[in-house]
Chains A and B, each alone.
Chain A
Amino acid sequence: MKWGVVRFPGSLDDGDAIHALADVMGQDARILWHKDESLAGVECVLLPGGFSYGDYLRTGAIARFSPIMKSVAKFAADGGLVIGTCNGFQILCEAHLLPGALTRNRSLSFVCDRVWLRVENASTPFTRATRQGDVLRLPIKHGEGLYVAPEDELRQMEERGQVILRYVDADGSESDAANPNGSMRSIAGVANERFNVFGLMPHPEHAVEAMLGGTDGLKIFQSIAGSAR
């Protein structure tokens, strides 16, 4: 599968994404420069973690106006697969390609840790290599990961199955203690209504090698690779 990883100024996990996709999984993965408009014929666009443009104004607020994002929006409108991790998720929300928004963690501090996540919908292009109820172990590292959306919208999202991942305990149950940032309904990852755009705060690209702490991130990328049109 051909992947494009967008490099914004201030992107940080772009190299990690390329490493995971190309070096570990043997996929065809390339960098897409933020000032370009071409997506170079890729089949999946990944918006990586980081602090695009410094995120001094609001996370993702500037990145959404970059030239490449026009093309990403069009690509998504045409049904192309887009995944945003961490800052990528924040950018997708800012660009209204995903519902809701990500705000300052409940603790008001940056948090770097490994968390458990329950798969809520396994029939999406991003999760089809998992089963509903599977519990994944992935790292998080963010200061603004508290997911919010209006209650009405949340209810509709739940009904449509757009909530893909939730923070849980090791045994798969929701609890306040297992919610690392105070996200509403413990939401860690959501998709759009068409299920071709997916954003999540955890970092699957940082969970692809046992030596570095786990391989559950591969399940996300394998799902996408298996969904190539």
Chain B
Amino acid sequence: MSEHPVSLAGEPKVDVEQARTFGLAPDEYHKIQEIIGRTPTYTELGVFSVMWSEHCSYKSSRRHLRKLPSKSELVVQGPGENAGAIDVGDGWAAVFKIESHNHPSFVEPYQGAATGVGGILRDIFTMGARPVASMNSLKFGSFDHPRTRYLLGGVVGGIGGYGNCVGVPTVAGEVMFDAAYNANILVNAFCLGLVRKTEMMSARARGVGNPVLYVGSATGRDGIHGASMASAEFDKESEAKRPAVQVGDPFTEKLLIEACLEAGKTGAIVAIQDMGAAGLTSSSSEMPSHGGLGIELELDQVPLREANLTPYEILLSESQERMLIVAEHGREAELQAVFEKWDLHAVVVGRITDDNRWRARWHGQMVADIPIGALADDAPLYDRPATPPKSSPKSDPTSSVVFVAPSKALRTLLDSPNVASKKWVYRQYDSIVQSNTVLGPGSDAAVIRIKNSRRAMALKVDSNPRACALDPYLGSVGVVCEAARNVACAGARPVGITNCLNYGNPERPEVMWQFIRGVDGLRAASLAFGAPVVSGNVSFYNETEGHAIPPTPTIAVLGVMPDVAKHVTQHFKNPGDAIAIVRTAAPSLAASEYAATFGIDGGRLNPIDLAREAALIDALVEGCEQGLIRSAHDIAEGGLAVAMAEACFNPRAILGAEVELGRAGNADAVDFFGEGASTVILSIAPGDVARVEKLFARRGLEFEVIGNVTADPRLKLGAALDEDVSDLQRIYEDAIPRRLRGGD
């Protein structure tokens, strides 16, 4: 047999046309020929095509992502590993990341979403961290679109079906319905894990001669070219891509979690990585490459689900629940014993070499021999052209506002699926397993305690595509502000960010411009809050037949509080408490749910003063830590009126509120329903009002007592609105179930 890699009998001819069907541009194909000095084998071509896909190589985004702040005194691990990590105190590191699974979820919603959850979990426990909480951000088309119910049911079912079965609580999320996502939904999955700072694991191989172990499920034909699918637009043929969607097995994942964490304790693991996008190929090339080493794989040793898989299929399969481990030489048996205890495969499939080559053999025959850097760290890098779109959005703020009667507007907004309770969704998720969920779904932010410690973490995932569509920079800044503010409303200080950047086709200059402006906004806000971006994911090509989604950076913020007993919720607590609003700017109807619902032009986004945003967060955290704030609720979709109603929906017993709004009865739609300004509603014991006011005044922030909490469950906003809170709650709770029952 030849020591030179060869294509196998029956494999298609390798040429520029074959490369094109694999998604490689002709110049990329020629670059491959140049790198290896010959025509690649069929296997090699497949390997290059997935590793150089946008999804794996970040070839369009890498140079821009470098601008993101990734350092602070709390960062334990920045970008470059499977996930980032932040020191949360008492010896613990919080490991977290968010990732997209958009394309597969549109093609096959249940499995697409399920395997999205599975993939992000593996990114966390490969770091040695036990996954302790999940969140998700979902974007569907308009509720009336014929496909939306199918996709909603499938995605929610898949997230629950997987998450509930692995014992990781789903504690928060966001769901939005907008016609802009009719043909390209978004499913972004987040996971947080905890690990002792000293016990973190790595994906950086070392030790020439160290064995490489394949652990977990056997390899099948599912998911071949999944990474390539995620790197192309959708068209009418996309339905036919269903075989490229992987199938999840959460039971095996649960075993894998326990086995990997137990194996980590042996100290015999040098490096470990999930076989995620591009499967065995990416894990086997990235680990040695990051360690400056090479690898030799024996593909015939890989456990298979069916006998006749080819080397090409073995390398490109994205079968789920598989890991690759570099072990200490001579300690293979120790690790194998752990995996055997959990009834999982653990097979030596290769070894680490010192010659920077990525080699694969099959029954002794070399089928691939590639300089390893070409697959991982030295993949192509593009500086794609970026230009703003020609027509900038109109800007005639509020002149065309028709003042819908406030009572009718409030009822209509509470009935909007974007504003309404998402209980129908989160009731399908186990949000309490592991006994750490202090605040679960339905809150501004989730609060997760750390056992055997007084400390707790607050989590929030957020996005605002309507604002990003108006101004991709300000929209992105605003999303980070809002997520950070939500975390602060729970009483936690924001300390870290992860991001999932969902955009259209980066080969189009206006999409690239949106992306770059989004990254710039994320950078500015991250710096202002001193909360670095420690992990993330980019999802391009979110477009179908030429229609891109609006720019949708999804941001998750992690906050930490030193004393979990000081956490604060969004609900009013006691009749007689003062209600105050604090804010950094005036509200507007730009990008508001009100504007979208009533079909008006909300005008341009107001500028954001990041110094004031940071001051607001600081004051909120201090107020909560001092126990001065009884409730804090961020104003979001639907503005002040909706936020006031939500604050009255205390699950223990609903309360009422009576407030005066603005300029003595002159309040208008902007006051009631405006968004955009960073505004928080507080309730405060009457005796503490002066002290709280000082916290905000000292920082130059507007603080105004506008009314008080009442035992009478009525919401009274000035003279214009007087509503029964139970009525409002019924509308809010029933909006989504009613639509799903088939009511209009």
Name A's B-contacting residues (CB within 8 A): 9-10, 12-13, 15-16, 19-20, 23, 49-51, 53-56, 109-113, 139, 141, 143, 203, 205-206, 209, 211-213
Which of A20, A113, A203, A211 makes the CB contact (< 8 A) with B427? A113
How many residues of chain B get a CB closer than 8 Å to chain A's CBs?
32
Q: How far is the CA of A56 from the CA of B427 in the complex (A)?
A: 22
Known: A110-B160, A111-B428, A211-B449. Contact between A16 and B435, CB under 8 A?
A: yes
B250 x A54 contact (CB < 8 A): yes
With contacts defined as CB atoms under 8 Å apart, how many contacts are there between chain A and chain B in the complex?
84
Most buried by A among B161, B252, B427, B449: B427
**Residues on B with beta carbons closer than 8 Å to the beta carbon of A51:** 164-165, 250-251, 254
B 420-434 to A, binary, CB cutoff 8 A, 1 in contact else 0 = 000000111111111
Nearest chain B CB to A221 CB, angstrom units? 14
Q: State the CA gap A111–B440 with chains docked (Å).
A: 15
Nearest chain-B residue to A9 (Cβ)?
B255
B251 and A54 contact, CB distance less than 8 A: yes
Q: Is the CB of B434 within 8 A of A15?
A: yes
Residue B284 CB within 8 A of the other chain: no
Query: Which of A55, A110, A206, A212 touches B438 (beta carbons < 8 Å)?
Result: A212
Given contacts A12-B167, A50-B167, A51-B165, contact A112 B432 (CB under 8 A): yes
Once bound together, how far apart are the Cα atoms of A212 and B565, in whole Å? 11
What would be 17 A-B contacts, judged by CB atoms less than 8 Å apart?
Answer: A9-B251, A10-B251, A12-B165, A12-B167, A13-B167, A15-B435, A16-B433, A16-B435, A50-B167, A54-B250, A56-B251, A109-B428, A112-B428, A112-B429, A141-B164, A205-B435, A211-B565
Q: Are A10 and B165 in contact (CB under 8 A)?
A: yes
**Cross-chain contact A12 with B427 (CB below 8 angstroms):** no
> For the complex, what is the distance from the CA of A15 to the CA of B161, rounded to whole Å?
21
Q: Which residues of B contact A10 (CB under 8 A)?
A: 165, 251, 254-255
Is the pair B430, A211 in contact by a Cβ cutoff of 8 Å? Answer: no
Which of B161, B254, B342 has the most A CB atoms < 10 Å from its CB?
B254
Interchain nearest-CB distance for A21 vs B (Å) = 12
| Pick from B166, B251, B431: contact of A53, CB under 8 Å | B251
Given contacts A12-B166, A54-B165, 12 further A-B contacts (CB under 8 A): A10-B165, A13-B167, A19-B435, A50-B167, A54-B249, A55-B251, A111-B427, A112-B430, A139-B432, A211-B438, A211-B449, A213-B432
Question: How distant is B344 from chain A, measured CB to nearest CB, in Å?
Answer: 10
Inter-chain CA distance A113–B157, complex, in Å, is: 16
- Given A50-B167, A112-B430: A9 in contact with B449 (beta carbons within 8 A): no
Whether A110 contacts B432 in the complex (CB less than 8 A), given A53-B251, A141-B164, A211-B449, comes out as no
Return chain A residues, CB-CB under 8 Å to B426. 112
Q: Which residues of A contact B343 (CB under 8 A)?
A: 9
Taken together as a complex, chains A and B put the C-alpha atoms of A143 and B254 apart, in Å, by 18
Establish whether residues A110 and B428, one from each chain, have CB atoms under 8 Å apart when the complex forms. yes
A12: chain B residues at CB < 8 Å are 165-167, 254, 430, 433
Smallest CB gap from A180: residue in B: B427
CA distance A19 to B452 in the complex (A): 11
Across the interface, name the chain A residue whose C-beta is closest to B156.
Answer: A109
A35 to chain B, nearest CB (A): 8
Q: Which residue of A lies closest to B447 (CB)?
A: A211
Distance between A30 CB and nearest chain B CB, rounded to angstroms:
17
Q: Compute how far the CA of A208 lies from the CA of B167 in the bound complex, rounded to whole angstroms.
A: 19
Q: Which residues of A contact B161 (CB under 8 A)?
A: 110
Once the chains are docked, how many angstroms separate the CA of A9 from the CA of B255?
Answer: 7
Q: Are A110 and B164 in contact (CB under 8 A)?
A: yes
Instruction: Please tell me if B451 contacts chain A, counting CB pairs below 8 Å.
Output: yes
Answer whether A212 and B435 are a contact pair too, CB < 8 Å, given A10-B254, A12-B167, A50-B167.
yes
CB distance from B112 to the nearest CB of A (A): 18
Q: How far is the CB of A42 from chain B (nearest CB, A)?
A: 21
Distance, CA A13 to CA B168, complexed state (A): 10
Give the distance in Å from the alpha carbon of A84 to the alpha carbon of B59 in the complex. Answer: 53
Q: Within residues 404 to 460 of chain B, which ones have a CB less than 8 A from any CB in chain A?
A: 426-438, 449, 451
Whether A20 pairs with B435 at a CB distance below 8 angstroms is yes
Q: In the complex, A16→B428 CA distance in Å?
A: 20
Q: A10-B254, A16-B434, A20-B435 are in contact. Are A112 and B165 (CB under 8 A)?
A: no
Q: Please, which residue of chain A has its CB at the minimum distance from the CB of B426?
A: A112
* Nearest-neighbor residue (CB-CB) of B153 within chain A: A109
Give every chain A residue within 8 A of B157 (Cβ-Cβ): 109
Whole-angstrom CA separation of A206 from B432 in the bound complex: 8
A113 to B435, CA, bound (A): 14
Of chain A, the residue at the smallest CB distance from B251 is A54
CB closest chain-A residue, reference B429: A112
Q: Which residue of B lies closest to A20 (CB)?
A: B435
> Counting CB contacts under 8 A, is B605 at the interface?
no
